[in-house]
Structure 1
Amino acid sequence: MSGIEHDDIVEQALSKLDLDTKARILAGQDMWSLPAAPGVSLDSIVMSDGPIGVRGARWTTDDPSIALPSPTALAATWDVTLARRVGNLLAQEARRTGVHVLLAPTVNLHRSPLGGRHFECYSEDPVLSGEIAAAYVIGVQEGGVAATVKHFVANDFETERMTANVLVGERALRELYLAPFELVVKKAGPFCVMAAYNSVNGHTMTEHDELQNKVLRDEWGFDGVIVSDWTAARDTIRAALGGLDIAMPGPGTVYGPALAAAVRAGELDEEVVDEHARRVLTLARRVGALEGAPRAEPLPAIDGEALAREIAASSFTLVRNDGVLPFGPDRSVALIGGAAKEARVMGGGSAQVFPSHVVSPYEGLASAGVRMAYARGADPSGRFNPARFPLRVVCRAEDGRVLGDFPLSEGVIQWLGEMPEGVAFQKLHSVEITGTFTPTVGGVHRLSIEGVGRFRLVVGGQTRFDGTMAPEGDDPIALFMAPPHTVVDVELRAGEPVDVRLEHTVPRSDLLSFPFVGATLGHRKPTLGPDKLIEEAVQVASAADVAVVVVATTKEVESEGFDRTSLKLPGRQDELVSRVAAANPRTVVVVNAGSPVEMPWREEVAAILLTWFPGQEGGHALADVLLGRTEPGGRLPTTWPGALEDCPVVDVTPVDGVLRYEEGVFVGYRAWERSGTAPAYGFGAGLGYTTWHYDSAEYADETLTVRVRNTGDRPGREVVQVYLAPVVPDSRPARWLVGFAVAEAGPGETAEVSVEIPRRAAEVWSEDGWRLVSGDYALQTGHSLDDIRITTTLAL
């Protein structure tokens, strides 16, 4: 470094920038990047969505990324070491794709099970969320890539998320919603925080001086940049004074030329712009995008597929088992469910990436040598998977001139912000998905069209659809991830090739301020009718030793852009499970969902395994767990209700633009315990394949040391959970999580773990700030909230 300190590098660069350049580097130059400043050797800083992979600047199937299990799955591992390794892998992926800033993790809370983005957040508990996120951030930044903790703050719903005003009491805000952000800032030092769309107590978050400047920066010591959620910055002056450093995307933002003009008009001091620019230059220094500050050395290479498989198995949460699991390879298995072959491995929205491959449950069990018969049984969704016969996309100008022509790996076009090389959005008039399909089976094949705007589907030279599909709702991400769709039935003969062409006229939408093209050609081969599908599944199940039914939610149910309206499984999946269970008492249900669903059949089946959205290697991990090669390591990161009407906190719909968090600090298990209603499965619950005895728990110097012993006949993994409960009940929740640790041991072996119990665990937020509530407390240590093994009393 030639004796030049890091801060000197930033200050020297800042001193060389004129007002226009300083204002310009605070605004996106396009969808995913900031502009370079060659005069000070500042490179363009590239950002990308996560959190389960790194999509890169182009959202397209021809640029694959690793697809890890969903954030709810990562939280279900309760394993900070594993979360840190996830961060390391994502840093590796980011550097491979030229990304400096990963827009993850999401630490908003599971306030209501109806939250549409529930799968992308970790937990209903701020300690679990914060600890997993902190380890994730450390892992990413060890690899020389910035992590972005989002969405600051109270962005726990999707309905009217861009405009709603959240009214939340100061105590609940501090003890719940701000708490995971605070923990991550103080423990992991994130380089970025993303300001949410919504308002909190009357002030939009991108302009929230109290929370961004006073709390985040002054009180917590955050020294990174605050970037807006995309299009969330609305006013130049208020955003600049409210603490926002970067307005995304570009080029049309409230910063850039508008910011420089405000200074020249005397509406804003240039020192304010200097401070924002200083933070952006500091970010550039940290990620190696500023001359004189090299990027951190890459970490040792990580096998992404192996890690994805490990995380999935460690997250799978067994909530019921009468002894049917694990089963041996000699058992005959009936594998049932549309989701068993068409796996859903991730949630919808900005969390979506395109993996190079996906291992379905069917493929995973087949590769493990399981003797298996398959029946579809029921389909989770009326929407189809993208067509996967050989396809190309042709991009045309209005005069018919070809702008681009290249292969598609599947029948999906999803271009957001960045267009394919050589294709200018301003000149793009239409796209065509074309290919030749040779059916392997004859009969009625179903082709689907998804998208907004004008479409024309031509099959075998005949026009089968020609019309306009209108948007539903006004959230741009919802239009992107769950657009309107239509289905066309086509009679085809086996072995006879047929030409297929889907033409789409690209609309220009007032809802979007950035380039966007979305069109999907879906396909489903001939199947039996719904009644016959279930009958077939029952017959297959009755002839097998074990029936494994895979049920799932869909992208119409769990996605960014809209909230859920029900916790019921879509379609006839509940009926399918009950019918199969009646035919085979050894029925195992695999629940492929990122967040809670109702399971009215839960007492009818032999076992229930929650696999969340398991990532690209989910099928292999499922085989590992069902066959007992790996223990299901997961514990519930959020409470699973028996029925939606039992939930103590449900509302996610603003009224007149306002969403009131009237429940205060009683969210998640805190609210369930106050309500007196028992959920289906409580917070922290989960079964393994062995048993554990808690030998001792000793508290000293703010640390609880716990010894556990594996009393079973196979190696195991135990999540030691510690809750704090006032001995004399008061206005606070009955108890709350204060720490956790993972223990591993072989048969008959013991393991010792240490859990830090900070003073803050017994403090509450008051008008005078954090205040210790003195008195006697019980440290409850055990397997889950509802399975406490040892209680230790202490006075604080």
Structure 2
Amino acid sequence: MTDTPNTLPAAVDIDALLDRLTLEEQVSLLAGADFWRTVAIPRVGIPALKVSDGPAGVRGGGPLVGGMKTAAYPVGIALGSTWNPALLREIGASLAREALDKGAGVLLAPTINVLRSALNGRNFENYAEDPILTGKLAVAYVQGLQDSGVAATPKHFAGNESEYQRGTISSNIPARAMRELYLRPFEMVVREARPWAIMTAYNRLDGVYCSENPWLLETVLRGEWGFDGLVMSDWGGTHSAGESVRAGLDLEMPGPARARAGLLEEAQNDPATAAAVRERGRAVLTLVERTGTFASPRDVRDSAERDTEYPDTRALIRRAGAEGMVLLKNSGILPLPAGASVAVVGPNAATAQVMGGGSAQMNAHRRVSPLEGLREAQGAGAVSTAVGCDNDKYLPVPTVPVHIEYRAQAGGDVTAREDKPQAEVMWFAYPGGIDPTAFHGTLTLSVHAPQAGEYEFSLASAGLSRLRVDGEPLVDNWSAWQPGDTYFGFGSDEVRGRRTLEAGAHTVEVEFVPNTFENGIAGFNAVRIGFRAEPEQGSVAQAAAVAAQADYAVVCIGTNGDWETEGVDRWGLDLPGRQNELVGAVLAANPNTVVVLQTGGPVTMPWLERVPAVVQAWFPGQEAGHAIADVLYGRAEPGGRLPQTFIASLKDDPTHPLNPDVQYPGEGGRVEYHEGLSTGYRHVDRSGITPLFPFGFGLSYTTFEVSNLQLSAATVGAGETVTARVQVKNTGQRAGSTVVQLYVRDRDSRLERPDKELKAFAKVHLAPGQIETVTLPVGMRDLAYYDDAARAWVAEAGDFDVLVGQSSLDLPHTLRLSLSTDWKEATS
């Protein structure tokens, strides 16, 4: 061809453009150009399109740690706790502005896998254990994002409910559970919000990789649901060339092509593959058009990113963080009175835990700790503090400058230099001339020992590493490197060493070389350097002594992004370290104790009966301390309701009772979903267990009365919708919010069904004494189950109960609804 570059009009004729492309150019569109960008073809005016992580903030094109600053929003489970689709839509619109500032037209979000187990490593990224709550929130998030011109990418499609062996394991899911639980949120978001992109999961589904599963991508997603957007793989999750193209996967990420390196030759020799290449190319160009990138190409260079911090974004994050906090217990101690002295203690007191780990992490504009938030709210003189104990999984990373020198080999000349802002480096870009798969790096930094004593150093790395302190070898993660749980499974476990240091500055030097990883991502290298003093043995007693001197004690405990992270599942349900001991000691010293819990999911609480108040604060984003202070002092309502059942012990987890190996975490390359539909509150109902806190639970600083449940009709015909109406009154002395929840029970079903299922909800904000009528629709799909033998959704004629209340175990109002004739909706 002899075409010359031209400027395409805003309305692009995709077919005509595809006709102008050679087969080689069409193939080039089907894998990324690099880690974050699609391929540009300037000859015919096709610009590059930039994508960015992630659900709780837009990191841009930089590394997962230490990159461009950006706004950090509440994590998924914190947003799920709001039960507020309007807020999620607002969050989506705000994130779109952040994406455009980073030159990105696609946000790799939201994460909408249903919570199956309490041990999912990405629990914190997802919204809920219930598909309807998840779906409605995801619909709003996607609408807010795409209404502002940025593509959403709901993920991970499908069956990615744990991180154990996620790159290869087969999720073997019964058809009914697949349809009713795990596909339902994706179906809702595709049908109602029309996302412009979808990301496939790493795992297999019934033995076939999701990224090349024709039933999942073509039969269900495109054929049955009518999806007309782009399907991309998760990073490194493409496993074939022509097979994945023919199966419906449009885009391999990241680039350059790895699995699709031989696609051109395959397409040249197979007409079916060539035809599929054209269709996949159409999807890529359609996404470029939908994001407005043809009409207004963005500057997608990482150097062009902006890190603007908007005041209204700060305010939104603070408000959303507070609205997602769940008041689990309150014996009248909250809100805290103004003017009282407060001791803020615990490992999460002075350290702001604002996000989880993995691809969802970012370099936040701010990290406001609970200590900072309470001091700003109350005055520094009235707030004392102590650490008490740590909750570290790994040694803390020193936030000090790190100088890196690159050589082609050890002892060779320095070929490049660069500086990083902290002692953890994840390479996604390299200085010019550096081969990401073959270099020798030397990282040098200085750490400060405040006093003479014993100190710990550590290394964890995706690659080989070894550490020297003041020239003396200390940590060897080189000669006996072993794969572990860090860096999405491509890194080692942490290796530690101890050294007695004099007070003052000490030089740390780390050597690093890349490693080769099966199923890895070429050029993905990382190293984490840890450093801290040996914890003092009397720290818990010291914290209790500080608490004894104050009017109130606020104990800030939980986890952090090392424990709650992509790539590895949660450690269990017991809080790590001496945190439970700390709560007991502080409570003994000061009975006016409030526990602020920051985790990504449920934990055991052996001190629950004795503590006057407990607030589940999750990871609420960069304004964490301000949002926590707002709730503790009553300046904001604790508006959250649990989106996940808090079980009392791990034996109550639905994935554990039957076969703990194959059912969770899996064995022999497969994980069997033997519990079927019996997850979350459904499992509570079926098994008769008593949860620590039920699904949908949450207290307020006021009280509410739900009454006068009515249905628009007592009998409904096939294909019709009935409306439930209920009155809600604020019977307390202050403004507040509650969530009205509607569940449906099938009284006589041919197939076994859960005792009840959430089908509708509404968040209500009321002034004292105010009454509002809430309207909730109930349609055919709300009455139906999936009949796998008939391959159809079926609602059987007969009687149903409509239950309404304020949690899954608080449903005092029930009305009978009759379906006069059978209803059926066929599927593929």
- On whether the aligned pair clears a TM of 0.5, the verdict is yes
Which amino acid is the alignment partner of residue 594 of structure 1?
G
Corresponding residue for residue 593 of structure 1: 599
Please give the per-residue CA displacement for 1:764-784, whole angstroms capped at 9, x wherever unaligned. 111141111222222222211
Match of 1:608 among 610, 614, 622: 614
Alignment of 1:127 with 2:132, yes or no, is yes
Instruction: Summarize the Cα distance change of 1:549–1:27 in structure 2 as closer, same or farther, 3 Å threshold.
Output: same
Are the counterparts in 1 of residues 468 and 474 from structure 2 also a CA contact under 8 Å? Answer: yes
Corresponding residue for residue 430 of structure 1: 440
Corresponding residue for residue 21 of structure 2: 17
Alignment of 1:80 with 2:85, yes or no, is yes
What aligned pairs does 1:117-156 form with structure 2 within 5 A after superposition?
Answer: 117-156=122-161
Please give the per-residue CA displacement for 1:337-386, whole angstroms capped at 9, x wherever unaligned. 11212232222211111112211111111222252221211111252322
Cα distance in 2 for partners of 1:204, 1:351 equals 23
Cα distance in 1 for partners of 2:191, 2:96 equals 21
Which moved further from structure 2: 276-285 or 56-65? 56-65
Instruction: Summarize the Cα distance change of 1:292–1:313 in structure 2 as closer, same or farther, 3 Å threshold.
Output: closer
Which moved further from structure 2: 422-431 or 337-346? 422-431
What aligned pairs does 1:567-578 form with structure 2 within 5 A after superposition?
Answer: 567-578=573-584
What aligned pairs does 1:134-213 form with structure 2 within 5 A after superposition?
Answer: 134-213=139-218
Match of 2:30 among 16, 23, 26: 26
Which moved further from structure 2: 661-670 or 476-485? 476-485
Alignment of 1:762 with 2:783, yes or no, is yes
Q: Secondary structure at the match of 1:233?
A: coil
Are the counterparts in 2 of residues 471 and 479 from structure 1 also a CA contact under 8 Å? Answer: no
Which moved further from structure 2: 422-431 or 779-788? 422-431
Instruction: Summarize the Cα distance change of 1:7–1:697 in structure 2 as closer, same or farther, 3 Å threshold.
Output: farther
Are the counterparts in 2 of residues 452 and 483 from structure 1 also a CA contact under 8 Å? Answer: no
Alignment of 1:528 with 2:549, yes or no, is no
Q: Secondary structure at the match of 2:155?
A: strand
Are the counterparts in 2 of residues 65 and 353 from structure 1 also a CA contact under 8 Å? Answer: yes
Match of 2:222 among 217, 220, 231: 217
Are the counterparts in 2 of residues 452 and 468 from structure 1 also a CA contact under 8 Å? Answer: no
Instruction: Summarize the Cα distance change of 1:482–1:73 in structure 2 as closer, same or farther, 3 Å threshold.
Output: farther
Q: Secondary structure at the match of 2:153?
A: strand
Cα distance in 1 for partners of 2:309, 2:467 equals 49
Which amino acid is the alignment partner of residue 348 of structure 1?
G
Cα distance in 1 for partners of 2:486, 2:557 equals 29
User: Post-superposition shift, 1:476?
Assistant: 7.5
Cα distance in 2 for partners of 1:653, 1:75 equals 25
Instruction: Summarize the Cα distance change of 1:692–1:53 in structure 2 as closer, same or farther, 3 Å threshold.
Output: same
What aligned pairs does 1:233-382 form with structure 2 within 5 A after superposition?
Answer: 233-255=238-260, 258-266=262-270, 268-291=272-295, 303-370=312-379, 371-382=382-393
User: Post-superposition shift, 1:110?
Assistant: 0.8
Instruction: Summarize the Cα distance change of 1:33–1:483 in structure 2 as closer, same or farther, 3 Å threshold.
Output: farther
Are the counterparts in 1 of residues 485 and 491 from structure 2 also a CA contact under 8 Å? Answer: no
Are the counterparts in 1 of residues 437 and 514 from structure 2 also a CA contact under 8 Å? Answer: no
Cα distance in 1 for partners of 2:786, 2:24 equals 43
Cα distance in 2 for partners of 1:303, 1:482 equals 41
Which moved further from structure 2: 509-518 or 704-713? 509-518
Alignment of 1:742 with 2:747, yes or no, is no
* Unaligned segments of structure 1, at least 5 residues: none
Match of 2:746 among 723, 726, 745: 726
Are the counterparts in 1 of residues 442 and 511 from structure 2 also a CA contact under 8 Å? Answer: yes
Instruction: Summarize the Cα distance change of 1:250–1:557 in structure 2 as closer, same or farther, 3 Å threshold.
Output: same
Alignment of 1:794 with 2:799, yes or no, is no
Corresponding residue for residue 688 of structure 1: 700
User: Post-superposition shift, 1:404?
Assistant: 4.3
Q: Secondary structure at the match of 2:596?
A: strand
Alignment of 1:647 with 2:653, yes or no, is yes
Are the counterparts in 2 of residues 444 and 526 from structure 1 also a CA contact under 8 Å? Answer: yes
Corresponding residue for residue 550 of structure 1: 556
Which moved further from structure 2: 682-691 or 272-281? 272-281
Please give the per-residue CA displacement for 1:741-770, whole angstroms capped at 9, x wherever unaligned. 111111112233332322210011111411
What aligned pairs does 1:477-556 form with structure 2 within 5 A after superposition?
Answer: 477-479=487-489, 483-493=493-503, 496-525=504-533, 527-529=535-537, 532-556=538-562
CA RMSD of aligned residues (A): 2.6
Please give the per-residue CA displacement for 1:231-289, whole angstroms capped at 9, x wherever unaligned. 2221223212211111122223333x522211211263422111111111111100122
Which amino acid is the alignment partner of residue 51 of structure 2?
M
Cα distance in 2 for partners of 1:306, 1:445 equals 40
Cα distance in 1 for partners of 2:175, 2:667 equals 21
Instruction: Summarize the Cα distance change of 1:360–1:402 in structure 2 as closer, same or farther, 3 Å threshold.
Output: farther
Instruction: Summarize the Cα distance change of 1:463–1:193 in structure 2 as closer, same or farther, 3 Å threshold.
Output: same
Instruction: Summarize the Cα distance change of 1:192–1:463 in structure 2 as closer, same or farther, 3 Å threshold.
Output: same
Instruction: Summarize the Cα distance change of 1:487–1:54 in structure 2 as closer, same or farther, 3 Å threshold.
Output: farther
User: Post-superposition shift, 1:507?
Assistant: 3.6
Q: Secondary structure at the match of 2:478?
A: strand
Instruction: Summarize the Cα distance change of 1:521–1:263 in structure 2 as closer, same or farther, 3 Å threshold.
Output: closer
Please give the per-residue CA displacement for 1:618-654, whole angstroms capped at 9, x wherever unaligned. 1111111111111111000010011111223234322
Which moved further from structure 2: 508-517 or 570-579? 508-517
User: Post-superposition shift, 1:580?
Assistant: 2.1
Cα distance in 2 for partners of 1:94, 1:441 equals 45
Which amino acid is the alignment partner of residue 171 of structure 1?
R
| TM-score normalised by L of structure 1 | 0.93
Corresponding residue for residue 711 of structure 1: 731
Which amino acid is the alignment partner of residue 612 of structure 2?
A
Are the counterparts in 2 of residues 335 and 549 from structure 1 also a CA contact under 8 Å? Answer: yes
Are the counterparts in 2 of residues 6 and 293 from structure 1 also a CA contact under 8 Å? Answer: no
Instruction: Summarize the Cα distance change of 1:330–1:525 in structure 2 as closer, same or farther, 3 Å threshold.
Output: farther
Which moved further from structure 2: 310-319 or 236-245? 236-245
Instruction: Summarize the Cα distance change of 1:526–1:269 in structure 2 as closer, same or farther, 3 Å threshold.
Output: closer
Match of 1:107 among 104, 108, 112: 112
Cα distance in 1 for partners of 2:130, 2:735 equals 29
User: Post-superposition shift, 1:216?
Assistant: 0.7
Q: Secondary structure at the match of 1:788?
A: coil
Are the counterparts in 1 of residues 454 and 498 from structure 2 also a CA contact under 8 Å? Answer: no
Cα distance in 2 for partners of 1:473, 1:455 equals 13
Please give the per-residue CA displacement for 1:269-315, whole angstroms capped at 9, x wherever unaligned. 422111111111111100122258999xx999772222111111011
Q: Secondary structure at the match of 1:714?
A: coil
Alignment of 1:664 with 2:676, yes or no, is yes
| TM-score normalised by L of structure 2 | 0.89
Are the counterparts in 1 of residues 202 and 209 from structure 2 also a CA contact under 8 Å? Answer: yes
Which moved further from structure 2: 427-436 or 664-673? 427-436
User: Post-superposition shift, 1:66?
Assistant: 1.2
Are the counterparts in 1 of residues 288 and 294 from structure 2 also a CA contact under 8 Å? Answer: yes
User: Post-superposition shift, 1:394?
Assistant: 3.8
User: Post-superposition shift, 1:188?
Assistant: 0.6
Cα distance in 2 for partners of 1:339, 1:733 equals 39
Q: Secondary structure at the match of 1:152?
A: coil
Are the counterparts in 2 of residues 9 and 292 from structure 1 also a CA contact under 8 Å? Answer: no
Which amino acid is the alignment partner of residue 355 of structure 2?
M
Q: Secondary structure at the match of 1:787?
A: coil
Cα distance in 2 for partners of 1:732, 1:151 equals 26
Corresponding residue for residue 702 of structure 1: 722
Instruction: Summarize the Cα distance change of 1:204–1:455 in structure 2 as closer, same or farther, 3 Å threshold.
Output: closer
Which amino acid is the alignment partner of residue 813 of structure 2?
I
Corresponding residue for residue 4 of structure 2: none
Please give the per-residue CA displacement for 1:667-698, whole angstroms capped at 9, x wherever unaligned. 11111110001110000000110111124333
Which moved further from structure 2: 268-277 or 478-487? 478-487
Are the counterparts in 1 of residues 109 and 154 from structure 2 also a CA contact under 8 Å? Answer: yes
Instruction: Summarize the Cα distance change of 1:497–1:217 in structure 2 as closer, same or farther, 3 Å threshold.
Output: same
